[in-house]
Structure 1
């Protein structure tokens, strides 16, 4: 059974989330503030976290960074802050998705299901277990990326995106293909997601992120991995 940690300080929203998720057989833990959320994340080991940025004690960004120090737990941010700058900061800190309030419960549940799916290992048949470049190595079985002898921490979304690209070397993958593969059918036009996540992957893997050698943009079309 999927366990969800809801770190939200709005009692009405928490009640609505708990009722809707429990009706769909999710196990739910709730945290009214950031410190409680960090403690429950370590203690209860949830499968996904729903996180409000506007918590009363510590900033939601701080919670994301704290969780990311030790786990790739999927984090979906719920925020009344609708600006693209806030979304970029949240995703850059390690969030997997960002939903601006108000939102529909159906949309939230769809994104929650997608986040959980991205954490599931996908078997690879007829593909190499390890992809090695001059700058980094990616182990598709162990789901690890190593650069300069150091393991690189990737969120589940970052991993899914990287995995899909390197499993199709030198092949142009359109923006629509990537969005549907990683986020689902309803995200076909969310090209800003791709820009943010590709920038993050380049910062983590490329020696010169502003002039990428491996994760190549084909303007107006999509992306490809060049081994």
Structure 2
């Protein structure tokens, strides 16, 4: 069985080496880079299953790199940063990140988050699921791991796609924010449930004709969200 591959981009050699050592112990294949100068070539040649990306780097920062990464792949991206403000985390998730961890962090926490992202990724698509889910002009293709609006592919992060699948597989069911967080990130994940709201907001901007008046992902006030059966 091939080992899962992780690309680490961080300009601090000590941090990169620490991450590499801990992930290698977990039997992952790890490639490190000091910056994203050759990010497209790195992705195409190494074919990572997950990317760990520092935000504050000379040249193109991690946020800009993530925007570029999303042009070529939707594999999970975990940001690492010394910036701990909520607004910084929201920006990171908005540009396509799947998770955000603040420096200094414990290696064990990072490993746990990596495992959670890869575990979730491996569950898509499932063997007993239909190949496609269709709601009007929106199509969720589980085999191709993509969403289309009117036949046009919409670039989604791995987390955004997981959220769409979880809700679209059970249209009309109301999911609480805590429930969605547990389903996507895992009940033992050490994150903030407000992350769900950020990703929902991102999704609406990408798949809703009018994000302020959504027809697919509806808010159930005081409870959570549901995928509308009226969308078709």
Using structure 1 for the length normalisation, give the TM-score.
0.93
Q: 1-side partners of 2:190 and 2:115: how far apart?
A: 17
For 1:65, the equivalent position in structure 2 comes to 67
- Contact kept? 1:3, 1:48, Cα under 8 Å: yes
**Contact 1:118/1:156 (<8 A) preserved:** no
Match of 1:13 in 2: 15
Match of 2:167 among 150, 160, 165: 165
> What is the distance in 2 between the residues matched to 1:66 and 1:166?
28
Structure 2 residue matching 1:213: 3-state secondary structure: coil
80, 83, 87: which one pairs with 1:81?
83
Asked if the contact 1:135/1:148 (under 8 Å) is kept, the reply is: yes
Partner residue in 2 for 1:113: 115
Q: How many residue pairs are counted as aligned between the two chains?
A: 226
Q: Distance in 2 between matches of 1:54 and 1:97?
A: 16
Output the TM-score relative to the length of structure 2.
0.91
After superposition, the Cα gap between the structure-2 partners of 1:193 and 1:13, relative to the gap in structure 1 and judged at 3 Å, is same
Structure 1 residue 166 displacement after superposition: 0.6
Tell me the distance in 1 between the aligned counterparts of 2:190 and 2:212.
26
2:105 corresponding residue in structure 1: 103
Instruction: Confirm or deny: 8 A CA contact 1:92 1:200 kept in the other structure.
Output: yes
1:122 is matched with 125
CA RMSD of aligned residues (A): 1.7
Structure 1 unaligned spans of 5+? none
SS in 1 for 2:178: helix
1:133-157 deviation line (CA, Å, top 9, x unaligned): 2341222333221112211111111
**Which stretches in structure 2 are left out of the alignment for 5+ residues?**
none
Looking at structure 2, the residues matched to 226 and 189 of structure 1 have their Cα atoms a distance apart, in angstroms, of 28
Cα 1:224–1:183 shift into 2, 3 Å: same
In the alignment, which residue of structure 2 is the partner of 1:194?
196
- Cα displacement (A) at 1:189: 7.1
How far apart are residue 4 of structure 1 and its match? 0.9
Is contact 2:137-2:151 (8 Å) kept? no
Whole-Å separation in 1 of the counterparts to 2:184 and 2:169: 14
